[in-house]
Amino acid sequence: MKHLSLVQQGLSLTLEGVSKQFGEREILKSLNLSIQKGQFVAIVGRSGCGKSTLLRLLAGLESVSAGSLSADGDPLSASESEVRMMFQDARLLPWKKVIDNVGLGLSGNWKSEALAVLEAVGLADRANDWPSALSGGQKQRVALARALIHRPRLLLLDEPFGALDALTRLEMQQLLTRLWQQYGFTVILVTHDVHEAVLIADRILLIEQGEIGMDLEIPLGRPRTITMPTLSALEAQVLEAIMAPGEQGKHDRHSDWLHSGKTDNPESAAR
């Protein structure tokens, strides 16, 4: 087996008073948040609540309107080279072979490392194939390999498995979990799938109208299976918080939460 260079320990993140506006519309409202090194965090919430906007801020694709983002105590922008992002679309270049998509933008002797990351995601034997020959799940494996070759300390995932069939999705979740455990990077996953969030994350953040409506630790060891009774109970708890009508509230970890029924937010206009 080819050696995949180990990443450093994951980045810790701190958000202080982070807000984002598009024109007069406030998408994120004075968020304060700390994420530990190597933590796996899932962000859930209604469409348009601010999930993807937050991820884009962390990726440096958008600038904050107010507040600050820091990584390991320094401005997050100083760690830009240690951050990678995956999207729902694999975004492979169809005129480049798999291995060349993995090494996109790299110079020097990168092919041995590209083969190593392809082996890590189970696609070393497809290195010289064209993207058109791959299934949807295989394309996302290539996208993951393209992120891994940079040895990221922070991996941002914007619904990367949303378009996959159920079995392929489960396989990708297991692969991601294994690689995260092996290499120790910090993961922030945006997902509409509450089951996915509870199955693979350490911690779930619910965003409601641009604010953190729930911050829930997942008190389960690993490995986890989809049939675990506690998993179903936690999934129901998160779904109730998302769907609950009538009340608003923000909650610290290990505490119960209040409910918010307002779901409309203009984030979708900013995507």
Q: Name 202's Cβ contacts closer than 8 Å, sequence gap at least 6.
A: 39, 40, 41, 217, 218
Q: Looking at the domain assignment, is residue 183 inside a domain?
A: yes
Structural domain contains residue 1: no
Query: How many CA atoms lie within 13 Å of 237's alpha carbon, on the beta-carbon side?
Result: 19
Q: How confident is the model at residue 226 (pLDDT cuts 50, 70, 90)?
A: confident
For residue 211, being part of any structural domain is answered with yes
Q: What CATH number is attached to the domain comprising 71?
A: 3.40.50.300
Q: Would you say residue 65 lies in a domain?
A: yes
Nearest 10 degrees: Cα torsion 36, 195, 44, 262: -140
Q: Which of 190, 151, 145 is closest to 40 using CA atoms?
A: 190
Q: In terms of residue numbers, what domain contains 77?
A: 13-270
Question: How much is the pTM?
Answer: 0.86
156-171 residue pLDDT tens: 999 999 889 999 999 9
Q: What tens digit of pLDDT does each residue of 39-63 get?
A: 999 999 998 899 999 999 999 999 9
In a domain, 2, yes or no: no
pLDDT at 5: 54
Q: Please count the other Cβ atoms lying within 10 Å of the Cβ belonging to residue 221.
A: 6
221-to-17, 32, 38, 178, 225 alpha-carbon distances in Å: 32, 27, 15, 14, 10
With a cut of 80, say whether residue 113 has pLDDT above it.
yes
pLDDT tier, 4 (very low <50, low <70, confident <90, very high otherwise): low
Residue 7 lies in a domain: no
Q: How many CB atoms lie within 10 A of CB 2?
A: 13
Whether residue 156 lies inside any domain: the answer is yes
How many structural domains compose the chain? 1
Q: What is the mean pLDDT of the chain?
A: 88
* 3 state SS of 130: coil
Q: Which pLDDT score, from 0 to 100, does residue 6 have?
A: 53
Residue with tokens 């980045």: 11
Is residue 45 domain-resident?
yes
What's the sign of the alpha-carbon dihedral 182, 238, 137, 92? negative
